[in-house]
Amino acid sequence: MPLGCCLAGRYHYGMLACRLASRLEPFSRRRFLPIWLALCWGVIGLFPEVVRAQNPQGLAAAVSLERVLVDVIHRAEPSIVSIARVRPGANSGRFNGLDVDPEGRFEADRPENPDFVPNEFGAGVVIVPPGGSGQRYILTNYHVVHGGPTAKGGGESQIYVRFGDRRGYYAQIVAGDPRSDLAILAIDYTALGLKPTDLKPITLRSETSPLEKGQLVIGLGNPYAIARDGSATASWGMLSNISRRPAPTRVREFGLPQSDLSIHQFGTLLQVDTRMELGTSGGALVNLRGELIGITTSLAALEGYERSAGFAIPIDEFTRRVIETLCHGYEVEYGFLGLTLKTVLPDQLRRRYGVNFKQASAVEVKTIYPNSPAAIAQVRQEDLILELEGHPLLDQFDLMRYVALYGPEATVRLKIWRPSESTELTLAAKLAKWPVMEEDAIIATSRRYPPWRGLIVDYPTGRYKYFGWPPQFRDAVVIGSVGARSPAQSAGLVEGDFIASVNAVPVHTPSEFQEAVRGADGPVTLELVDHRKITVQK
């Protein structure tokens, strides 16, 4: 028998038996034992046939694949860290009979000790941000590190990272975005006597490297905290799908979800056939080139009850924008059109419009809010949106996902079918900012623009608490905060005021506001949307 057939036959049935047995309850396994042994005998019987095989090509191919996997793991592993989030007093008590150290704590209570078992754990990946200066950061999931300290202090817990060579350090959060579930950590190199080059970054997936079903991938992470010594656990499998959402999403009437905690509810996730157990969150998913193609997450499986599947946040154009933003310490901003949508199914398209579209379904516009980007772009109620920037839109989640990818102030092209005119149009819309609901969940240590005379401004739609109901798209910027005892506070400005112009120059975005006040060396007159005029002294 040729070796290839031998591998395909005996190995297949042996692995089938092992997988089936692993899914059975203990009692069922005992009943299944005779069949399991018989099938496993196929694998045991493989070896004599290997010896007798006349064609060694099958074995050579298997060894070649094995060497590729070993090599990729060897190159990627130094970039993977285990992460422990340690709450004060969380592990108090006696562990493993260890003695008390001179400071009165048990040795096992200290994260520096590899025997320390944290209550909360995950993994991270050392990266250099896209277009960065070479600074090393640690990329992980937001939910792994939320509550940890930042460079500005605070935090209800500590974050401890350990590398594969057993080095361990305390880390701080540079920025974290709950909506993408991504966060960036940094180590204080100067205080530790380290150089950035002491950390080995992983290579991010090339823009030209496709993501396709069936690709072989390797996962490196920290399941059940067993990688707390820093040595990542490896597993391999293939990409099962490249656009999954873990659970159904409910959408409010005006197009905002019940919670803005996850953009992945709109179908961004990679699905992998390897199981992502608790602790694999923040780990690396790499291709056979050793490139990082995704950040693994166990949270999606827990939320969606898909325990037999693994998920990962892909390294794509959207994620690169998020990573670069977080490495600067900024809040991540998302695009917003200002309309409500309805998915139109194939039979409805043919029955209602009598047109055979190239795509199976489309998105129908239900409501457009006055002065929104969609309204300004001349989108109308009952229009069918077929594409956004060349991406086919098969349901409302497709549109929300792609709009988020581009962010506020980006101009996107919409391919429209207008039933009232039986014509196809291309419209351009300049996006607004998605209204943040859970502002306190955002971790940002830097601002894109410095405060001006005590004022921090945002897009008019930037915060849900100011956006209100019904939605109002104002030609203005909103005041997000006013510094205590600042010139702005002295002038009577308060949080939530909308500024329509600066010295009679209209402003609609934070960048326009900064441009208008730049170089102002004396009193500046701000006109609010309620037509009040307020002069702010220097």
CA of residue 422 relative to chain centroid, distance: 40
**What is the phi/psi pair of residue 510, to 5°?**
-60, -35
Q: Give the pLDDT score at 89.
A: 63
Cα distance between residue 179 and residue 436, in whole Å: 9
Do 193 and 208 belong together in one domain? no
Do 223 and 286 belong together in one domain? yes
Cα distance between residue 507 and residue 492, in whole Å: 20
Q: Is residue 333 part of a domain?
A: no
Do 401 and 511 belong together in one domain? no
Q: Give the pLDDT score at 299.
A: 63
Do 175 and 142 belong together in one domain? yes
Q: pLDDT below 70 — which residues of the chain?
A: 1-55, 89-109, 114, 132-133, 227, 247-261, 275, 299-308
Residue type, 458: D
Q: Among all chains, which residue has been given the structure tokens 């405060």?
A: 451
Do 49 and 116 belong together in one domain? no
Taking a C-beta distance cutoff of 8 angstroms, is the pair 217, 285 a contact? Answer: yes
**Span 364-399, pLDDT tens digits:** 999 999 999 999 999 999 999 999 999 999 988 899
Q: Is residue 435 part of a domain?
A: no
Q: Is residue 221 part of a domain?
A: yes
Supply the DSSP symbol for 111: T
Q: Give the pLDDT score at 418.
A: 94
Residue 44 sits in which domain range?
A: 3-55
Q: Give the pLDDT score at 305.
A: 53
Q: Is residue 208 part of a domain?
A: yes
Last residue of a domain, one of 157, 176, 198: 198
Give the H/E segment covering residue 170: strand 168-177
Last residue of a domain, one of 145, 179, 198: 198
Number of neighbours of residue 214 by Cβ within 10 angstroms = 7
Do 176 and 285 belong together in one domain? no
Nearest to 33 by CA among 45, 20, 44: 20
Nearest to 176 by CA among 143, 222, 154, 133: 143
CA of residue 345 relative to chain centroid, distance: 29
Do 404 and 348 belong together in one domain? yes
CA of residue 370 relative to chain centroid, distance: 32
Which residues in 222-309 belong to E strands, given as ranges? 233-244, 269-272, 284-286, 291-297
Cα distance between residue 320 and residue 324, in whole Å: 6
**Residues whose CB is less than 8 angstroms from the CB of residue 149 and which lie 6 or more positions away in sequence, other chains included:** 155, 157, 158, 159, 172, 173
CATH number at residue 294: 2.40.10.10
Do 393 and 463 belong together in one domain? no
Q: Give the pLDDT score at 108.
A: 53
Q: Is residue 63 part of a domain?
A: no
CATH number at residue 417: 2.30.42.10
Do 373 and 401 belong together in one domain? yes
User: Which tokens belong to 41?
Assistant: 């005998």
In the chain, % helix, strand, coil (3-state, to 5) comes to 30, 30, 45
Last residue of a domain, one of 167, 198, 229: 198
Q: Among all chains, which residue has been given the structure tokens 């510094």?
A: 483
Q: Give the pLDDT score at 165.
A: 86
Q: Is the dihedral of CA 310, 286, 86, 176 positive or negative?
A: negative
Taking a C-beta distance cutoff of 8 angstroms, is the pair 116, 108 a contact? Answer: yes
Q: How far is CA 360 from CA 328, 345, 354, 392, in A?
A: 41, 7, 14, 10
Q: Is residue 273 part of a domain?
A: yes
Q: Is residue 66 part of a domain?
A: no
User: Which tokens belong to 230?
Assistant: 């820093």
Number of separate domains in the chain:
5
Do 103 and 194 belong together in one domain? yes
Taking a C-beta distance cutoff of 8 angstroms, is the pair 377, 366 a contact? Answer: no
pTM: 0.83
For every residue of 482-530, DSSP letters joined together read E-TT-HHHHTT--TT-EEEEETTEE--SHHHHHHHHTT--S-EEEEETT
User: Cis peptide leading into 470, omega within 30 of 0?
Assistant: yes
- Max alpha carbon distance in the chain (Å)? 93
Do 253 and 274 belong together in one domain? yes
Do 235 and 315 belong together in one domain? yes
Q: Is residue 288 part of a domain?
A: yes
